[in-house]
Amino acid sequence: MKKSLGVIPAVYPMPVLMVAAYDEAGNVNVMNAAWGMTCDADKIALFIDEDHKTTKNIRQSKAFTVSIADRAHMAEADFFGIATGNKMPDKFARTGFRAAKSAHVNAPVIDEFPLVMECELAEIVETDNLHAVVGKVVNVGAEESVLDEKGKVDPEKLQALIFDQFRHGYYVTGEKVGQAWNAGKDLMKK
């Protein structure tokens, strides 16, 4: 029998996404967002509200990047979630991180994070129950160090952070335990 926990955000794992955009003066702003996911092969939805400095910057610039935070940069990734660009204009500079302008969109690519999706703003969906920033992914870039011998991202090398909403912990991706579209195929024969 399951114990009732009430209403809590119970999706696990959640990604640790670093969303970056330029402000009106061309300064880099980054936020930590766990509530986001792909919503098509070339689209990502970020469930971030209007009050974020990053949301305001995305509205203005019409572009953003989404990096996957990794174990090596956990402290900075967490800081990007603790500090708000609305009150700390030098938030990005405090980390000592470097960023370059994307070759594909008007948004910063943070050098330290090994995987980045470069996005054009597709739309912002606002309803009574939802606020989502939807981006069209125009390019994905990855450091060679996180690729396998076939040029695909290796999750074990990526060491992507994942967020636990139950106890507010960070974990890293790890061991492969099966192959998608294969692990359950024997059940198709019944």
Q: How large a percentage of the chain has pLDDT more than 90? A: 94
What residue ranges do the domains of the chain occupy?
A: 14-189
CA angle 83, 168, 82 (to 5 degrees): 0
Give the mean model confidence (pLDDT) for residues 134-159. 97
pLDDT at 190 > cutoff 90: no
Condensed to tens digits (0 to 9), the pLDDT of residues 33-92 reads 999 999 999 999 999 999 999 999 999 999 999 999 999 999 999 999 999 999 998 999
Cα–Cα distance for residue pair 74/84, rounded to 1 Å: 17
The residue type found at 112 is E
How sure is the predictor about 120, in pLDDT bands with cuts at 50, 70 and 90?
very high
Contact 114, 70 (CB under 8 A): yes
Contact 94, 84 (CB under 8 A): no
Q: Please give the CATH topology (third level) of the domain spanning 14-189.
A: Pnp Oxidase; Chain A (2.30.110)
